[in-house]
């Protein structure tokens, strides 16, 4: 007679359990941060701010290097701020941004320890 061996399952060595890997909530949180830096302009803006005087930059000084309007740069900066990667400080007319180093470090650690 035939034995209907479930070879597919039994031969499979060690499929990841449903609860293996990162929890869904943590994956969501990390993906949000990575998505924020998943755009060339935002990578460049972050690097401009990080290398700026005192680790900060006025939005008025960011438009020219990236060749975009202030409205577009503001939009990108809002995405970075919402992801917790930059902090915004209003000084008179202008918004100044600084990089949140701890958030970048945390994202970096997550990549290394995936």
Residues that bind its own copies (CB under 8 A): 8, 12-22, 24, 27-28, 30-32, 34-48, 50-53, 57-58, 60-62, 64-65, 99, 104-105, 107-109, 111-112, 114
CA–CA separation, 33 and 103 (whole Å): 9
In whole angstroms, how close is the CB of 1 to its own copies at the nearest point? 27
Kindly tell me which of 27 and 70 has the beta carbon lying closer to its own copies: 27
Q: How far is the CB of 29 from its own copies (least distance, A)?
A: 9
What element of type H or E holds 27? helix 24-36
Q: Which is nearer to its own copies, 1 or 91 (CB)?
A: 91
Token pair 């919402």: residue? 82
Give the torsion through C-alpha atoms of 76, 82, 88, 94, to 10 deg.
Answer: 40
């Amino acid at each position: 007679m035939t034995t209907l061996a479930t070879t597919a399952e039994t031969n499979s060595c060690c499929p990841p359990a449903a609860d293996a890997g990162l929890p869904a909530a943590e994956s969501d949180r990390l993906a949000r941060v990575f998505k924020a830096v998943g755009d060339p302009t935002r990578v460049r803006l972050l690097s401009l701010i990080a290398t700026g005087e005192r680790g900060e930059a006025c939005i008025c000084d960011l438009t020219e290097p990236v060749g975009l309007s202030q409205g577009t740069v503001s939009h990108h900066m809002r995405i970075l701020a919402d992801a917790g990667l930059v902090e915004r400080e209003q000084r008179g007319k202008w918004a100044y941004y600084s990089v949140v180093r701890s958030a970048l470090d945390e994202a970096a650690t997550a990549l290394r320890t995936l």
